[in-house]
Structure 1
Amino acid sequence: MAAHVRVFVIFTAAYFLSYFYRSANAVIAPDLAQELALDASQLGLMTGLFFAAFAAVQLPLGVGLDRLGPRWVTSALMLVGAAGSLLFASAHSLAALALGRALIGVGMAGVLMGALKAFSQWYSPLRYPALSGLLVGLGSAGALAAATPLAWLNETVGWRAVFGVGAGAVAGVAAAIALGTRNAPPGVPWPGQSVDLRALQTVFGDLRFWRIALLVFFTNGTLLAFQGLWAGPYLNDVYAADALTRGNVLLWLSAGVTVGFLLSGWLSTRLGLANLVTLGAALFIATQVALALHPPPVVMAPVGALFGLSGGLTIMLLAQPRYVFPIAVTGQATTAVNLFAIGGAALVQWWMGLIIGLFPGVDARYPPEAYSAALMAMATGTAAMLMFYWPMRRSAA
């Protein structure tokens, strides 16, 4: 296998695992809640720790990638994730689950940014956007594995076995990155330059950054919070859906996300990046409202697919900094936006749990109104940030 193909394949495999882990709790949430007697707020906080730890690593991660390179930084972090998966698999308390989930978040924090850093060295500027979009689209299929296949495995061997085997898969891909890739093509020296953190002052002082960051906080945050956790309890409590049915609906939702990711780059070149984001966010708000109104079970799968598709289109917010900021600071600007994208997932996941927990539950089940309130709150926040973002449509992006 040619070296440049090997780099793409290995990092895509790593992102597949990252997306699997961020989405897995949606299917196994009812089992976690029942087995360890977790209420909604505990379940939301524990699951959200993946994203909280992921977000906390972002800014120092950028420094590490620039100085040491993705080969060593990404593989080392993934070994932390493998240890977290083993701890999660053997946990018998909320504290152990939470620590395992947080370590998995740390382990996966360097996968996407590490891949993009590697691609920037291995591929020409003309090929970079297409391959980056292909990476995100193919890797997000990890959410498909965390839908019906995970539901079947959970019923067959149990979630503990899945996370135990997953730890071995993560360690194996980490080894593949360390042994099978390079920071740069042969003959191209790795600069190992230091990073001027004063560039962050330029980024955070620009109003355009906040228009992008606050919208991605709610779009990406709500997408991952629902896909990665609350879709499962929503289907369980509102529709009394069994595990396989929940997995099938999540499969449609995750397929929508994958299609949205794959189409986003192509559509942004035709509609304009900011126009595409605006359209995607508006559709995303509409589907949140539809879910809050509890559509008939027969249309749940299409509504879930549209929720995923529209949320996936807004991923172009992560690409927008390179059109807004000078080339010298786009790396740190992108990492800073990603901090809000992942931080949004952590907080929105927790906030939804807090709102749902305000309603009286019986045997870890909550009434339909609880999910309506949580979804409408997130739809309102997304709508407010879309209005704040609206002036970006006048930009060249």
Structure 2
Amino acid sequence: MNVAGQNSRAAYVVWLVGLAAYLLAVFHRSSLAVAGLVASERFDITAAQLSTFVMLQLLVYSAMQIPVGLAVDRFGPRAVMLGGAVVLTVSQGAFAFAETYGTALAARFFVGLGDAMTFVCLLRLVNAWFSPGRVPQITLLTGPIGQSGAIIAAVPMTWAFSELGWTKAYLAAAALGLLVTFAVLAFVRDEPHARSVRGAPLSWKNIRRSLAASWEHPGTRLGFWMHFVTQFSSTVLGLLWGYPFFVEGEHTSEAFAGTLLTLMVVAVMVAGPVLGRLIGNHPWHRSTIVLVIVSSIVVVWTIVLAWPGDAPPWMLVVLVIVVGVGGPASMIGFDLVRTSNPVDRLSTATGIVNQAGFLASLTTVIAVGVILDRTDQSFKAAMSFQYVLWALGLVQVWRYRVRTRARVLRDDPDRWARHAGLG
């Protein structure tokens, strides 16, 4: 890696092309959000079957993080990102022509697979192309900008469904994948002076060694639990349950519910660069920042859920803003991975951490649905399930914060003396 080549114009070109691939992955992931009614009619399915699309994609995304991380460490981010772009393009094309529920499920499975092959690659490219001082800022910009793909998907896909119909709308979306594929092929290099890099062969022995070494380091586990505890509340609201909670649980108007979800996305995008600068200036207090943010989320949710009757509109605004900050805060976990693992297993460790938030989100999405069914649609009871995961996550963050600091003190006492702690 050539440090002199980092933070250059070429670095930003590579990042922007990779970011376009990530934006498109989120676009494809979210394109079904505005197609629920059309999909129900096309495949003649119930609401429960429709929600299976979302659960399947989350499950595939989460399950593939470690295999994708291993593949990136072996074949390099460029090759895996190209593979993801191709899979997304083909699977969206197949979804365009799907006429049965089973075929549509199979297509969405591969959409989840292609989606899973993008983000880890982008983080690896950021670490290769930018100097250590710039990586936190770029990383915390990457997540919020990429997640805006969900917003980008809403308006054009709504128009496309009404004007072009199902097949042409999804074919148009798939065509965007061809542009991204060619851009990755033309402009992305694994490192400043290497178009492609290759790691050790993927034998079972090497896989076990890489996974064991990554998981053994308490910094990786601290990053895992940071990602786990920060992300799921905003993901659950934005992905499925936010709109019903506000309209049916808090009795807001549909327009105000939509405004609240938009405000949450704005909070995500504004908080990203702010947190990036904060952890860049205070890298030894990353877990403290996470603990403060999650505690704030818990306090605000407690006020809303304990409010007699419906919470006032201003309180719901505070809720979505504070919860929204948890989205980019989850990216702090990846910065722990960066400073706790060598380059040759960085993507494997990143994959381990990246599955944490989606595992928590999937668990909460399912649990909220089950509790709603068993409590006669009591949203306050259903949303209270979050306390289980907050309690688990906060305990684990504190636990591995202590262990990570002890590891730094043991392995690098001079570094400890200079900075008086890690995390």
Please give the TM-score of this superposition, normalised by the length of structure 1. Answer: 0.82
Q: Give structure 1 regions of 4+ aligned residues with deviation exceeding 6 angstroms.
A: none
CA contact (8 A) 2:89 2:177 kept: yes
CA contact (8 A) 2:233 2:323 kept: no
Distance in 2 (CA, whole Å) between partners of 1:158 and 1:344 is: 37
> Deviations for 1:204-258, whole angstroms, at most 9, x for unmatched residues?
345664454245234323332321222233345333744x554433221111122
Q: Displacement, 1:105?
A: 1.2
Distance in 2 (CA, whole Å) between partners of 1:30 and 1:233 is: 16
- For 2:409, the equivalent position in structure 1 comes to none
CA contact (8 A) 1:289 1:375 kept: no
Cα separation, partners in 2 of 1:220 and 1:34, compared to 1, 3 Å? farther
Q: Does 1:120 align with 2:136?
A: no
Deviates more, 1:26-35 or 1:114-123: 26-35
Q: Which has the larger radius of gyration?
A: 2
Cα separation, partners in 2 of 1:23 and 1:351, compared to 1, 3 Å? farther
Q: Displacement, 1:53?
A: 1.3
CA contact (8 A) 1:281 1:314 kept: no
- For 1:375, the equivalent position in structure 2 comes to 383
- For 2:66, the equivalent position in structure 1 comes to 59
Cα separation, partners in 2 of 1:127 and 1:204, compared to 1, 3 Å? closer
Deviates more, 1:50-59 or 1:115-124: 115-124
- For 2:326, the equivalent position in structure 1 comes to 310
> Deviations for 1:136-166, whole angstroms, at most 9, x for unmatched residues?
232222233246x368648854884654432
Cα separation, partners in 2 of 1:90 and 1:250, compared to 1, 3 Å? farther
- For 1:250, the equivalent position in structure 2 comes to 261
CA contact (8 A) 1:11 1:177 kept: yes
Q: Displacement, 1:191?
A: 3.9
Give, as a single letter, the amino acid of the residue that structure 2 aligns with 1:256: A
CA contact (8 A) 1:283 1:310 kept: no
- For 1:363, the equivalent position in structure 2 comes to none
Deviates more, 1:258-267 or 1:326-335: 326-335
Local SS of the residue matching 1:219 = helix
Q: Does 1:108 align with 2:115?
A: yes
Identify the match of residue 172 of structure 1 among 179, 189, 196.
Answer: 179
- For 1:347, the equivalent position in structure 2 comes to 363
- For 1:84, the equivalent position in structure 2 comes to 91
Distance in 2 (CA, whole Å) between partners of 1:28 and 1:110 is: 24
Identify the match of residue 358 of structure 1 among 366, 371, 374.
Answer: 374
Local SS of the residue matching 2:15 = helix
Give, as a single letter, the amino acid of the residue that structure 1 aligns with 2:385: A
Cα separation, partners in 2 of 1:5 and 1:268, compared to 1, 3 Å? closer
Cα separation, partners in 2 of 1:178 and 1:335, compared to 1, 3 Å? same
- For 2:144, the equivalent position in structure 1 comes to 137
> Deviations for 1:75-114, whole angstroms, at most 9, x for unmatched residues?
2222211233234445455434432322111111122211
Alignment of 1:9-24 (within 5 A): 9-24=16-31
* Paired residue total: 385
Distance in 2 (CA, whole Å) between partners of 1:32 and 1:237 is: 23
Cα separation, partners in 2 of 1:180 and 1:97, compared to 1, 3 Å? same
CA contact (8 A) 1:16 1:141 kept: yes
Give, as a single letter, the amino acid of the residue that structure 1 aligns with 2:298: I
- For 2:210, the equivalent position in structure 1 comes to 199
Distance in 1 (CA, whole Å) between partners of 2:380 and 2:386 is: 10
CA contact (8 A) 1:45 1:353 kept: no
List alignment gaps of at least 5 residues for structure 1: 361-366
Identify the match of residue 398 of structure 2 among 385, 390, 397.
Answer: 390
- Aligned alpha-carbon RMSD (Å): 3.3
Deviates more, 1:318-327 or 1:149-158: 149-158
Please give the TM-score of this superposition, normalised by the length of structure 2. Answer: 0.78
Distance in 2 (CA, whole Å) between partners of 1:158 and 1:349 is: 32
- For 2:312, the equivalent position in structure 1 comes to 296
